[in-house]
Structure 1
Amino acid sequence: MSLLSTQCSTRLLAFALPFLSVSTHAWATESTNVTLLNHNVQLQYKDAVRLDQVLSDALQQDALQQQANTFDAGYRLFDNSKQDDVDDLYTDVIQRLKKLSEDESHSVAAEQLLQQVQSHQYRYRIITSLDIDSVRLDLAQNPKMPGNYLLKLSARPSSVHLAGLITPKSIAFSSFYDVAGYLEQGKLSNEANQSFAWVIAPNGQTTKVGTAYWNNQHSRVIPGSIIFVGFNSNDSELADLEQDIISLLTMVKS
């Protein structure tokens, strides 16, 4: 089995850093434009403004619309200028899954993952704290933002989602469940990893956790998380494909 190159994901992750660390005098002459996906309203600033200003204005729009989008762990900020990188990664993953589906031993798993990946829209997400209080207290988390962005605020979700090589479903959030407890409510595929799963938190952070009787880490999840089950294989190409799918899932638009 020969899969396509996985260079896209490495490049994609590297691009998140300049947003947090770079600030130049030249930015003062650039504007900031942010489309609020909750309201289809655009915030326009003549000069580049800092992240806390954008968050404050977005929350004011929520107040005007009498919405309570206060679950900052689920806020999503997307950079329009880097969308090509997400599109390239998506195309690469789709091509590799289609090629994998031609392998009889992996065809069922590949088709299952292909259907899930194609069910979402993806944008280049900036993985950073969007808690307005934390942002205001730390200049490193409060950069100026020249350019064009999308921002989606979130109310507290009520469910956790199963994805990957398990029956995809949403399960009502319960503080009594750990990761293994959620997985027990789904049906694993034949090729699914029986011992580990990935937790994709609403803020885009990912963690691999043990879920079997011998390595159960009893990890809790917060509402809105995705629990992704990957391949039960040591094949490096399948592992790379799994990582790229997870990268995409951190960048789901909605």
Structure 2
Amino acid sequence: MLQGKCVDTGGSTNLTKGELYYLFPHGGHAYCASRFPRPGSHFGTYQKNHFELVDVSIDTPMQVLNKYLARVVKPPSHFYRIDEEYIITEPRADGYYSVFFKHRPDGSPIGAYKRTECFERIVNHEESVKDTATIFEVGDIVEIIDASLIRHKHYENGEQATVIENFYGCISIKRNELVDRKDISSVLLIGDELQVIRKVGSRPVLEAVMVNDKQEKVNQTTKIECEISEIVKLPVKK
């Protein structure tokens, strides 16, 4: 993998003189430049004479950057909204830090910025993941906000479910509604998967355990009450 230091911006506002970039050959006379070691993340194509190649064969292993749960306080672009939460890294050697979706902290970064005033750190990401499991209790009603990580076709964004178990940082959820009149199995969420749901309410624990059987229990109760009523009304022999 090639890395190069910008020696001439050529009037481009995307390049900064003296900064290192990952370079990917584009034809015989140009490079695609990126701040990340992936060709698909490049931000432009530039003539080779804009860069001075750096020998990366003797570089130390890539530094593992700490990640933090952070809140937007000054949006770096129109994509962000104040008080939204994201995962950010600590700054790299070039001063840039990466931004990730809160529910996809190990996915591809959605941006890289130098301005430190854009985000306010809340807590270390590892601690935030540990704390996530503790905010859900049996009986809580949750909304699915990213069903792609659940990998269950009957759990979609916007659907609601109920927490039916919470043990050792893992929780099980079950959809509140039947699908095609069928009971849908519960789903176990672990670690970062807990970021795909958010609490929207709660219900009694007994009711939560039997969410999809509630109507059946009501019908059984009504049937029993009717039978008792009929017994009471039987004529008494004299």
Larger RCO: 1 or 2 (CA < 8 Å, sep 6+): 1
TM range (shorter): under 0.3
Structure richer in strand, relative to its length: 2
Q: Return the TM-score normalized by structure 2.
A: 0.27
Report the structure, 1 or 2, having the larger helix content: 1
